[in-house]
Amino acid sequence: MPAVTPDNWTDLPRIPEPGPEGSERTVLRLVTAPSLLEGAGFPVRRPFPTREIGFREADPFLLLDHMGAVQYGPGEAKGAPWHPHRGFETVTYMIDGVMRHRDSQGGGGVISNGDTQWMTAGAGILHDEMPPDELVASGGLFHGIQLWVNLPRSLKWTPPRYQSIAASAVRLVASARGDALVRIIAGELGPYRGPGLTWTPITLVHASLEPGARLAVPWPSDFNAIAYVLAGSGAAGPEHVLIREGQAAWFGAGSGVVVTASPAPDSPTGRLEVLLLGGRPIREPIASYGPFVMNTREEILQAFEDYQAGRMGTIPAEILDPGSPS
């Protein structure tokens, strides 16, 4: 798992553990993510939205897709060809492998091995998310997540924008005992802040816990909190609810979150790999239809009309006809 991982964690700043016992959030719901196919047929696990963690529990998040980890053979790698979005943000974090993005405004780039791409769809955009031709030809490891972050009514019509967050920009810290590496992609964790700029106050963290390690972190009491296991096994909350790869734990109220790694996490890295995410709920009505997330049904119908009429943008001409002069 090459997501940025220094050889030595002991020199990193330590996150102070939260205050007195009793402030740790307990696990209220646990879900095993169902599997499904997306785009051109790549497999994902989706812990939310589900019956256990619905829009209300996930708020301000809408959806989490765990892509892989999958070892593609030659010709097998698949992506998500051109499609629209409106009304929210997509956050794509690549742990292993490479993905290429292009959009209807001429933007895009390549992210790999610990990079994050943060796309604010806002008023509407078309994009594609594909494995590069070289990866399709040769095959290779592919592992990442895509998170959808809702936008409040006042920001749903904000102009689209991209943030490309290099792996080297991610804020690295360690647990209080130094036995867990914490990558802060966005938001705050204790006194430390990640590089992602968020419209909605959120925290997004990828932590790697050594066997038997404990990660206890302060968590804003007005945020929700979810832990999702990317690989390995461990426990969540003060009551030590067992969690393993593909499971998400949704926490109740409190001012701290704790996860612990199994003595033998049984993952490719030998560690518990876990996402911690949370944010301040938006608490607005949600109307969702495929790639559109608005506040009302009428706005969904308008989004479909706008997409169908080309008002969310069009595929750039040089992509439709690669031989044409740019």
Which residue, 131 or 237, is less far from another protein as judged by CB? Answer: 131
The residue among 14 and 83 lying less far from another protein, judged by its C-beta, is 83
CB of 88 or CB of 192, closer to another protein? 88
Instruction: Please say which residue, 4 or 301, places its beta carbon nearer to another protein.
Output: 301
Shortest Å, Cβ 166 to another protein: 26
Rounded to the nearest 5°, which phi and psi values hold at 227? -115, 130
Q: Per residue in 6-22, is it b (16+ CB within 10 Å) or e — as a string?
A: eeebeebebbebbeeee
- Contact region for another protein (CB under 8 A) — 72-80, 110-118, 157-165, 233-241? 72-80
Q: How far apart are CA 278 and CA 250, in angstroms?
A: 10
Among 109, 296, 308, 317, binds another protein (CB under 8 A): 308
Closest CA to 178 of 204, 134, 217, 209: 209
Distance of closest approach, residue 128 Cβ to another protein, in angstroms: 9
Site string for another protein, 253-292 (x = CB under 8 A): ------------------------------------xxx-
How many CB atoms lie under 10 A from the CB of residue 172? Answer: 18
44: nearest Cα among 97, 80, 87: 80
What whole-number distance in Å separates Cα of residue 300 and Cα of residue 264?
A: 47
Number of residues that bind another protein (CB under 8 A): 27
Least distance in Å: CB of 3 to another protein? Answer: 25
- Nearest-angstrom CA–CA distance, 142 and 140: 7
Task: Select from 12, 28, 70, 136 the one that contacts another protein (CB under 8 A).
Answer: 136
Which one among 56, 305, 317, 318 touches another protein, defined by CB under 8 A? Answer: 305
Residue 118 CB, shortest distance to another protein, in Å, is 20
Instruction: Name the DSSP class of 270.
Output: S
Instruction: Please report how close the Cβ of residue 131 comes to another protein at its closest, in angstroms.
Output: 8
Span 75-104, contacts to another protein by CB under 8 A: 78-84
Residue with the two structure tokens 């879900």: 31
Contacts of 105 (CB under 8 A, 6+ apart): 125, 160, 313
- The count of other CB atoms within 10 Å of the CB of residue 222 is 12
**Which position has the token pair 């119908």?**
301
Tell the smallest beta-carbon distance from residue 60 to another protein (Å): 21
Total residue length of the chain: 326
Q: Binding another protein by CB under 8 A: which of 1, 121, 123, 130?
A: 130
Residues 32-61 that bind another protein (CB under 8 A): 36-41
Residue in 28, 212, 304, 311 binding another protein, rule: CB under 8 A = 304
The residue type at 181: L
Cα separation, 68 vs 191, in Å, equals 32
Point out which residues bind another protein (CB under 8 A).
36-41, 78-84, 130-131, 136, 289-291, 300-301, 304-305, 307-308, 315, 320
